[in-house]
Amino acid sequence: DAKTTQPTSMDCAEGRAANLPCNHSTISGNEYVYWYRQIHSQGPQYIIHGLKNNETNEMASLIITEDRKSSTLILPHATLRDTAVYYCIVRPLNRDDKIIFGKGTRLHILP
């Protein structure tokens, strides 16, 4: 079973920041927070991951609360191409561990 809770869907205006929340209240000390997204009819794409510190890369920023029970993925300037289903996943850092996907958040970027 997925260990995360995400809103089913969200809308965001093009050019604005998209903030996608995720609750993971049962996260273990050795588990990281990962974000993937899936554009329609494509395979999932890795976005970012973090343990407890905030992380930023060319795609997004990840803000993890101090108690690690929730996080927010931020797409700073959303474009129409960011329309996708976004999955928040908690798992150990071991790349060989299986990924269990929840239902994710369907993000619609509005023109």
Q: Which residues bind another protein (CB under 8 A)?
A: 36, 38, 41-46, 49, 87, 93-96, 98-104
SS3 content of the chain, % helix, strand, coil (to 5): 5, 50, 50
Q: How far is the CB of 95 from another protein (least distance, A)?
A: 4
Q: Which residues contact 19 (CB under 8 A, 6 or more apart)?
A: 72, 73, 74
User: 45-50 and 61-64: which strand pairing?
Assistant: unpaired
Q: What is the nearest approach in angstroms of another protein to the Cβ of residue 71?
A: 18
CB of 107 to another protein, least distance (A): 15
Q: Which is nearer to another protein, 67 or 98 (CB)?
A: 98
- Are 101 and 87 in contact by the 8 Å Cβ rule? The answer is yes
Cβ closest to another protein, residue 81 vs residue 98 = 98
